[in-house]
Structure 1
Amino acid sequence: MHCADNSLYCGSTDDVQRRFHTHQQFKGAKYTRVKSRHPLKLIFSQRFDNKHDALSAEYHFKHQSRAKKLKYLAEHGVDIHPLNN
């Protein structure tokens, strides 16, 4: 997700829309409960064959620099623009 403070949030779930709605209601992860990070925008999702692969990808993404995250997203057709502009 792309947050209003221009940060990125990554998580895993078996139901993307339900989880996104939870985050929008300030009931998701502690990171997305911060009002200054709202509104949130779902910018990318990826399907995996199993939970292990999904969690591995999440871990890897979270441990990349912002530049590498943006490069990965751009390579997958995602163009990031600040939400508050």
Structure 2
Amino acid sequence: MKKSYFYVLYCKDGTLYGGYTTDIKRRLKEHNDGIGAKYTRPARRRPARMLYAEAHASRSLATKAEAAFKKMTRPVKERYLKDNGVKFPLHKQHACIVKEMESNQDADSEKL
């Protein structure tokens, strides 16, 4: 079964972008090639770096996590990322953290 991912990008302009995909490497390339989401198309936002991703058992869980993240304020997003192992300051290079979510974590998606 294919996993569904909620992911967070750190854009060149310092903004954070949350999205959904089934292939995080392909999706990052699309964003950096300017054919990803409308948000990441402007050159001022590229290149983007994948900071964090959560692997969910279903598309529904991944898109719920994405929607919850997008509703957060910037300070809450940063706290969420920090609580999940993302190193600050964000402009420093580090590998993307990929977290495997258990299939029964509907409640965790809503905690975002």
Sort the TM-score into its range (normalised by shorter chain): over 0.9
Distance 2:52 2:59 in 1: 18
Q: When the two structures are aligned, how many residues end up with a matched partner?
A: 84
Alpha-carbon spacing, 1:71–1:82, altered in 2? closer, same or farther (3 Å): closer
- Provide the TM-score with structure 2 as the length reference: 0.71
Structure 2 residues without counterparts, runs of 5 or longer: 1-8, 92-112
- Partner AA of 1:21 in structure 2: K
Q: 1 or 2, which has the higher strand percentage?
A: 2
Alpha-carbon spacing, 1:6–1:74, altered in 2? closer, same or farther (3 Å): same
Structure 1 residues without counterparts, runs of 5 or longer: none
Q: 1 or 2, which has the higher helix percentage?
A: 1
Percent identity at matched positions?
Answer: 35
Give the RMSD, CA atoms, in angstroms.
Answer: 1.4
Partner of 2:59: 51
Distance 1:81 1:29 in 2: 25
- Provide the TM-score with structure 1 as the length reference: 0.92
